[in-house]
């Protein structure tokens, strides 16, 4: 695999990671509510979810969807239902006091990781991207080492970007503004997440 092909694949994965979606939205919300540490744990889960889809693509995910399109439809419906369920929870608890990672109801790093991982799995956009675009950029002569290196790039990009988003929204000035408008902002987040869920189901 040439350096040019490797860089092209890495660039495409970077563009996919930074595009707006449920993972970025969740990183922003967790950064606002619970700070950078919990946001970074969430980002690890998001990165692991992206690697999961990439590995699945390497082992024939696109062929599976081609021969069994009902599986892709089911994935979209289940993913959309999960995102809408999360949106309803955000909306219902918008007026609740802010939680932090040390409170009994706050997210521990493990729970944040699971949330990031399941959020990424619930979004079929990475499945379609890795199953079509990503695989399409891999040359037939790609070695196991080059594919592994790309998987590392995918994880690092997803982790770095979503940690950056969490950091941006965890800044003191941002959090102070959020405290006064939590009930409104959480409902906006919930509405956006629900809209993404509907878009996924209809797409």
Q: Is 12 within the bounds of a domain? A: no
C-alpha span between 148 and 146 (Å, rounded): 5
139: left (phi over 0), alpha (psi -120 to 50) or beta: beta
pLDDT, residue 97, reads 60
Alpha helices in 19-143 (DSSP H): 22-58, 61-67, 69-92, 109-122, 124-128, 135-137
Q: Is 5 within the bounds of a domain? A: no
C-alpha span between 79 and 111 (Å, rounded): 19
- The residue range of the domain holding 196 is 22-202
Q: Is 8 within the bounds of a domain? A: no
Q: Is 6 within the bounds of a domain? A: no
Q: Is 161 within the bounds of a domain? A: yes
pLDDT, residue 14, reads 82
- Per residue of the chain (203 residues), what is the pLDDT tens digit? 678 777 877 887 787 788 778 888 889 889 888 889 999 999 999 999 999 988 888 777 656 666 667 766 776 677 677 677 777 876 776 666 655 444 434 678 999 999 999 988 887 777 777 766 666 666 667 778 888 888 999 999 999 999 999 998 888 887 777 666 667 777 777 777 677 677 766 76
Number of domains in the chain: 1
Q: Is 31 within the bounds of a domain? A: yes
Q: What are the backbone dihedrals phi and psi of residue 60, each rounded to the nearest 5 degrees, phi first?
A: 100, 30
Q: Is 13 within the bounds of a domain? A: no
């Amino acid at each position: 695999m040439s350096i040019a092909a490797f860089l092209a694949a890495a660039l495409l994965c970077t563009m996919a990671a930074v595009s707006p979606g449920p993972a970025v939205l969740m990183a922003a919300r967790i950064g606002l509510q619970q700070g950078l540490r919990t946001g970074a744990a969430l980002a690890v889960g998001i990165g692991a979810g992206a690697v999961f889809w990439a590995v699945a693509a390497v082992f024939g995910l696109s062929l599976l969807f081609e021969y069994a399109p009902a599986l892709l439809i089911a994935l979209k419906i289940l993913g959309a239902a999960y995102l809408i369920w999360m949106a309803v929870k955000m909306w219902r608890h918008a007026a609740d006091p802010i939680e932090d990672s040390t409170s009994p109801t706050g997210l521990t790093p493990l729970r944040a990781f699971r949330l990031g991982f399941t959020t990424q799995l619930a979004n079929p956009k990475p499945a379609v991207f890795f199953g079509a675009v990503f695989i399409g950029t891999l040359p037939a002569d790609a070695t196991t080492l080059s594919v592994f290196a790309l998987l590392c790039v995918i994880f690092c990009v997803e982790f770095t970007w979503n940690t950056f988003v969490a950091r941006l929204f965890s800044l003191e000035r941002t959090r102070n503004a959020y405290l006064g408008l939590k009930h409104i902002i959480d409902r906006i987040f919930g509405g956006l997440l629900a809209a993404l869920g509907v878009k996924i189901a209809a797409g």
